[in-house]
């Protein structure tokens, strides 16, 4: 998921400015929005030692003046402060405090500032004015600060300077004026936002919003602190959490639903022209969740320009500014909508940059999430009815199942429907050749689509590459993965998987029923060596893993989707585990061993700053783990550590009688549950299926395990020393000294002990609990002399290092 971030800027009033804002490239038809868009600030209210508290944030204005914007719908929503002030934040929970210390150097946050812009729909204006005195001062400095603010939050760069700017100013950027209008039209959803030009960092933002403080991240959390200064070392989302009162009442929950609407169905008719131009009409039916909703924000690529929006055949207002300034799309309903009712809108739009011709019959589909006006993708599921019209020489492959295909002169038309509700819809496009087969073992229909040539950038290397030659390999890899997952995880609702070639070389992606595999997966070893040289050997690991990983997303990401950014490991980590499981199930034990060792070193190796991935914070923080001194922390934890969590659970649930039955029953039930799920949901399911030996917390839950591995950052080191003593009865006594180190007193784990028989068979001889940094001594008696004894022999526990040593 990509995200956007912003900066600060302000507007001057005047005809020249207004004519720029309402240029031909914009579509604004609501007078209250126009009032917000063209607002300036004026007047002066002086304050002295004034304190303003919003949840975990406290502002103290020692001295200075406030200038306010004119009221809109009877409310002042803008204020500019010029003077001397401080901001302080005290986190509401220990995870956020620890994260703040990692990024900012202290568990609490302080910033001194001399100017700030405030946007609000709560009672902030009244609270300030009640404590202020009117002052006879010009608002020159305030006007300048407001102008800077306007330019900061409106301008969207195609070349962001940092991750936060990319998050706040990218495709998912919000239009601040439209968001304020939405709240003004829907009383009860009041927000507060401060844009602070700090003494340390120039762009610090504190936000309190009941609909979610950072809408670019899927999360219901209402309070955020963001350092959006791209030049700052602490750039990032420093704090994002639920209200303090929710933590105090123990009611904070990832499954909270603050959404305004949810989609019920989409009917999309799309035409792709010979020049790659896209034009479409979408009929979206949505259910209203928030009483009084009038303004609805859609995810739509800003280069797709909306031509009209209709409700019951009647045009209604909509907002879409220029491509580079607040290009996000909002529809304005004619009157407040009642919660529980369903509304249908018809949206007509057209534009470019959804696809790009890469030559050789290959096209890059870049706007995979925003090629249609979407609502809450990856969170809410909806029915899809999709029709595509394309030049007949090309093939379009969509999510869902194709119902009909026709050709009329130069145009090929296909009609697709979703057999079950989906979290997102997408397509791939190219001069494809198709290989299709029903996998008799599982019943899934499998299709593979490849182009007759490689994209231009590969053909320019001088190689003659027929990517279609590897289609049978892709088919076999997909069938093998499907059989493994069907056995271990259970049936998914959709019965089709289409594997499609994409021009991108080093990553894959998975949509419901539709997998985008990199072109590199369709090259043979000789071709990859010609392109990559000796690096091709290491790249071969990626090739072995990418197909099962992406196919696994049909289970983890689409059958079961994730509730918030905290829970994305339920998708990516589970898919990483699935790739390793496939290697083991296919009998590739050496490859599986190397796979898990690579995953371990991803987490234990230190970067140029001497930091491991876990040093950035716990897995629970998801995308927020990325910061300038630990750029790879999010990927390594979400994928590798997330996969290891399942690996450890599988190991703990194994027993000699039922083998992996308990684990497969857990995974089957999670698959059958489907829908949007959270870490807490999965933890409860694990507790339901746990073995008695797993109750190390003594409370019949797995809270101890999730506290350590999802919400914690500790990683143990293990050392086993053992001796073998022959017995008088032909048996052998094994004395073992198992040491767990580099963890706190509260840390505990179950450690499998393996012995190798003279026939080189590895047998689990015991499973031993151990707590804290300690050494446990115990004995085993065996009817044979083992050739070796080892703990963690099958990567059962994620560790910094495991050393097994025989002593005399």
Listed in sequence order, the residues at least 6 apart from 37 whose beta carbon sits closer than 8 Å to its beta carbon are 21, 28, 177
User: Tens digit of pLDDT for each residue in 407-432?
Assistant: 999 999 999 999 999 999 999 999 99
Instruction: Judge whether 418 and 425 are in contact, CB under 8 Å.
Output: yes
Say whether pLDDT at 102 is over 60.
yes
Instruction: Judge whether 720 and 805 are in contact, CB under 8 Å.
Output: yes
Residues 7 and 161: their CA atoms lie apart, in Å, by 11
Residues 586 and 492: their CA atoms lie apart, in Å, by 21
Neighbouring CB atoms inside 10 A of 407's CB total 10
* Share of residues in the chain with pLDDT > 70 (%): 97
Mean pLDDT of 505-522: 96
Residues 38 and 766: their CA atoms lie apart, in Å, by 72
What pLDDT sits at residue 1?
A: 35
Listed in sequence order, the residues at least 6 apart from 98 whose beta carbon sits closer than 8 Å to its beta carbon are 107, 617
What pLDDT sits at residue 460?
A: 86
The partner residues of 288 in beta bridges, in order of sequence, read: 261
Residues 487/490/492/495 CA torsion (nearest 10 deg):
40
Say whether pLDDT at 451 is over 60.
yes
Take residue 249 and report the two structure tokens written for it. Answer: 């009442």
Least confident span in 138-147, 185-194, 296-305, 416-425: 138-147
Query: CA triplet 105, 110, 113: central angle to 5 degrees?
Result: 130
Q: Going by DSSP bridges, is the β-strand pair 318-320/329-337 parallel, antiparallel, or unpaired?
A: antiparallel
User: Tens digit of pLDDT for each residue in 164-200?
Assistant: 988 888 888 899 999 999 999 998 899 999 999 999 9
Neighbouring CB atoms inside 10 A of 751's CB total 23
In this prediction the pTM is 0.94
Mean pLDDT of 289-295: 98
* DSSP sequence for 636-651: IIIIIIHHHHHHHHHH
User: Tens digit of pLDDT for each residue in 466-504?
Assistant: 888 899 999 999 999 999 999 999 999 999 999 999 999
Residues 21 and 28: their CA atoms lie apart, in Å, by 10
pLDDT band at 10 (very low <50, low <70, confident <90, very high): very low
User: Tens digit of pLDDT for each residue in 355-407?
Assistant: 999 999 999 999 999 999 999 999 999 999 999 999 999 999 999 999 999 99
Q: Among 731, 734, 729, 735, which residue's Cα sits nearest to residue 783?
A: 731
What pLDDT sits at residue 11?
A: 27
pLDDT averaged over every residue in the chain: 93
Take residue 577 and report the two structure tokens written for it. Answer: 């585990």
Run of H or E including 252: none
Instruction: Judge whether 369 and 304 are in contact, CB under 8 Å.
Output: no
Take residue 609 and report the two structure tokens written for it. Answer: 């700053």
Say whether pLDDT at 21 is over 60.
no
Instruction: Judge whether 451 and 501 are in contact, CB under 8 Å.
Output: yes
Highest mean pLDDT among 112-126, 157-171, 618-632: 112-126
What pLDDT sits at residue 28?
A: 56
Listed in sequence order, the residues at least 6 apart from 734 whose beta carbon sits closer than 8 Å to its beta carbon are 722, 723, 724, 725, 755, 779, 780, 781, 782, 786, 789
Instruction: Judge whether 455 and 517 are in contact, CB under 8 Å.
Output: no
Residues 39/43/48/49 CA torsion (nearest 10 deg):
-10
What pLDDT sits at residue 424?
A: 97
Residues 516 and 415: their CA atoms lie apart, in Å, by 20
């Amino acid at each position: 998921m990509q995200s956007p971030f912003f900066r600060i800027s302000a507007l001057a009033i005047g005809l020249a400015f207004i004519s720029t804002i309402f240029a031909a490239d914009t579509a604004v038809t609501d007078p209250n929005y126009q009032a917000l868009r063209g607002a300036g600030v004026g007047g002066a209210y002086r304050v002295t030692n004034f304190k303003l508290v919003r949840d975990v944030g406290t502002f103290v204005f020692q001295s200075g003046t406030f200038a306010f914007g004119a009221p809109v719908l009877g409310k002042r929503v803008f204020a500019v402060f010029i003077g001397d002030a401080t901001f302080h934040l005290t986190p509401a929970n220990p995870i956020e405090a620890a994260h703040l210390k990692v990024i900012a150097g202290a568990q609490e946050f302080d910033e001194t500032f001399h100017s700030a812009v405030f946007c609000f729909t709560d009672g902030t204006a009244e609270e300030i004015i009640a404590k202020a005195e009117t002052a006879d001062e010009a608002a020159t400095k305030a006007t300048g600060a407001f102008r800077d603010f306007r330019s900061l939050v409106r301008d969207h760069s195609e070349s962001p300077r940092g991750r936060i700017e990319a998050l706040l100013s990218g495709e998912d950027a919000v239009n601040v004026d439209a968001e304020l209008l939405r709240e003004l039209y829907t009383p009860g959803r009041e927000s507060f936002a401060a844009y602070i030009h700090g003494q340390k960092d120039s762009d610090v933002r504190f936000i309190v919003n009941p609909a979610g403080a950072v809408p670019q991240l899927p999360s219901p959390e209402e309070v955020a602190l963001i350092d959006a200064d791209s030049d700052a070392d602490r750039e990032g989302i420093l704090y994002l959490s639920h209200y303090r009162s929710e933590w105090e009442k123990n009611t904070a929950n990832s499954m909270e639903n603050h959404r305004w609407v949810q989609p019920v169905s989409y009917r999309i008719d799309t035409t792709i022209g010979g020049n790659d131009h896209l034009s479409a009409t979408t009929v979206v039916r949505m259910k209203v969740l928030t009483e009084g909703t009038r303004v609805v924000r859609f995810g739509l690529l800003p280069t797709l320009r909306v031509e009209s929006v209709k409700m019951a055949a009647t045009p209604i207002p909509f907002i879409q500014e220029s491509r580079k300034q607040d290009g996000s799309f909002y529809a304005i309903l004619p009157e407040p909508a009642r919660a529980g009712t369903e509304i249908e809108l018809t949206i007509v739009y057209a534009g470019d940059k959804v696809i790009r011709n890469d030559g050789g019959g290959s096209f890059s589909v870049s706007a995979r999430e925003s090629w249609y006006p979407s609502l809450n993708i990856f969170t809410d599921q909806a029915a899809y009815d999709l029709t595509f019209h394309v030049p007949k020489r090309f093939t379009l492959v969509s999510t869902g199942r194709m119902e009909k295909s026709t050709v009329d002169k130069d145009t090929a038309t296909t009609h697709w429907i979703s057999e079950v509700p989906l979290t997102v819809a997408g397509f791939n496009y190219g001069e494809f050749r198709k290989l299709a087969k029903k996998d008799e073992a599982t019943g899934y229909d499998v299709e593979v689509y490849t182009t007759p040539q490689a994209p231009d950038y590969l053909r320019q290397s001088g190689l003659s590459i027929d990517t279609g030659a590897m289609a049978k390999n892709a088919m076999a890899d997909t069938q093998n993965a499907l059989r493994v997952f069907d056995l271990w995880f259970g049936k998914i609702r959709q019965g089709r998987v289409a594997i499609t070639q994409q021009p991108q070389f080093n990553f894959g992606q998975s949509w419901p029923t539709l997998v985008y595999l990199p072109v590199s997966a369709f090259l043979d070893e000789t071709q990859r060596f010609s392109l990559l040289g000796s690096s091709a050997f290491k790249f071969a690991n990626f090739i072995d893993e990418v197909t099962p990983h992406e196919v696994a997303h049909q289970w983890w990401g689409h059958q079961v989707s994730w509730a918030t950014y905290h829970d994305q490991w339920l998708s990516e980590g589970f898919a990483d585990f699935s790739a390793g499981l496939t290697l083991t199930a296919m009998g590739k034990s050496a490859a599986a061993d190397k796979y898990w060792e690579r995953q371990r070193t991803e987490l234990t190796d230190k970067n140029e700053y001497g930091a491991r991935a876990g040093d950035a914070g716990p897995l629970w923080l998801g995308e927020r783990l990325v910061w300038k001194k630990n750029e790879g922390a999010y990927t390594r934890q979400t994928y590798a550590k997330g996969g290891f969590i399942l690996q450890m659970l599988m190991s703990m649930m194994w027993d000699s009688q039922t083998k992996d039955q308990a684990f497969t029953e857990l995974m089957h039930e999670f698959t059958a549950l489907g829908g949007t799920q959270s870490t807490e949901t999965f933890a409860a399911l694990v507790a339901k299926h746990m073995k008695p030996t797993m109750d190390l917390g003594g409370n019949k839950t797995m809270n101890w395990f999730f506290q350590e591995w999802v919400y914690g950052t500790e990683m143990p080191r293990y050392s086993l020393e053992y001796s073998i003593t022959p017995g008088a009865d032909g048996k052998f006594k094994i004395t073992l000294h198992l040491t767990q180190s580099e963890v706190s007193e509260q840390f505990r784990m179950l450690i499998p002990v393996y012995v190798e028989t003279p026939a080189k068979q590895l047998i689990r001889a015991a499973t031993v609990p151990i707590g804290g940094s300690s050494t446990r001594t115990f004995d085993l008696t065996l009817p044979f002399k083992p050739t070796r004894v080892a703990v963690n022999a099958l990567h059962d526990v994620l560790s910094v290092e495991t050393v097994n040593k025989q002593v005399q």
